[in-house]
Amino acid sequence: MSLPIEIKPVDRDFYESRLRDFLPERIVDIHAHVWIGEPMIVDRAQSWPGRVAKDNPIEDHLETYRLMLPGKEVLPLIFSSPGSGGDHDTLNDYVTRSSRQHDVPALILSSPEWSAHELEEKILAGGFLGAKPYLSFAPSYLPAEEIRIFDFLPPHQLEVLDRRGLIVMLHIPRPGRLRDPVNLAQMLEIEQRYPNIRLIIAHVGRAYCTEDVGDAFETLAPAQKMFFDFSASTNEEVFRMLIRAVGPRRILFGSDMPILRMRMRRICESGRYVNLVPKGMYGDVSDDPHMRDVEGEEAERLTFFLYEEIDAFHRAAEAEGLAPADIEDVFYNNAKTMLEEARKGAEA
């Protein structure tokens, strides 16, 4: 198998000196995409992830762990990425086959157009442990900045997921990200009205810069059950705020593979994240406000997005005094327990 991943000395030195001893031997990656045959959707979403991988077969995905996290046993929770030409059934069928062939858990990529019965039947038939709704599937007449959570995760579907105690991996919408008051109100409503759902707020609510947080954690203080994964984020201060707000028992490691294979370093400028990448590696990025080329020695020092994410959490964990047992909870135990509990609901 040949993947477009070159493990350079800078990568191996980074992993060995900063990550290997920090990470537990067993890891659950709660946020991983696998798909074949279709490019990633760009409508209502950032286009830069599509520059990293046009597809991600399950075999490539598992090989990525072997190459990038040597010595670690990694179990992914897999789901598809919406394709510009792929329908839900085709995308989900591939995830089901991958899940069964490689004995890994999976979520269904859900459509808000499905009835409660359709969603439940598809989850049971495919062996899924829950749903990954996606804001791009909200009604087309809604402007992207006006989409609400319930526009792509409707109450009749939440009722099914709640009754069975299944997982919801939620990528929240709206330009305000985590600090948006509509998002916060609906996140709390889901926890309060559907208490059996195992709700995961992906990407720390898309709070990639500290300006994205606002007073979110104060507003969410009544919540006692929702989890947060820190996939595709490298912001140490946001991670510290998250640790202080919810503690290590409600935090989950996720990668957002395959885009975490990107060679990059992220900075924030005036509240907007910018990915610094080697010039030319991902094509012409001059028209993307979230991408910037660098050259020379700065480019040579760049390592993988995955390493930058884990290292940022490592620094935050040390600053907040987390113990090794806490780290094992974040990277393994919390997710393992959640998956076991969701499986009982899916099989009931």
For 153-208, the pLDDT digits (tens) are 999 999 999 999 999 999 999 999 999 999 999 999 999 999 999 999 999 999 99
Mean pLDDT by 10-residue block, N- to C-terminus, for the chain (348 residues)? 82 98 98 81 64 90 97 97 76 96 98 97 98 94 96 98 98 96 98 98 98 98 97 98 98 97 97 96 93 97 98 98 98 98 93
Would residue 118 count as lying in a domain? yes
Would residue 59 count as lying in a domain? yes
Would residue 292 count as lying in a domain? no
Token pair for 120: 């439940």
Predicted pLDDT of residue 82: 81
Would residue 64 count as lying in a domain? yes
Would residue 300 count as lying in a domain? no
Q: Any idea which residue has 């804001």 for tokens?
A: 135
Would residue 283 count as lying in a domain? no
CATH number at residue 95: 3.20.20.140
Whole domain around residue 208: which residue ranges? Answer: 9-261+305-347
Would residue 289 count as lying in a domain? no
Distance between CA 18 and CA 224 in Å, rounded? 32
Could you give the angle at which helices 155-164 and 116-126 cross, rounded to 10 degrees?
40
Would residue 275 count as lying in a domain? no
Evaluate if pTM is beyond 0.85. Answer: yes
Number of domains the chain is built from: 1
Predicted pLDDT of residue 234: 98
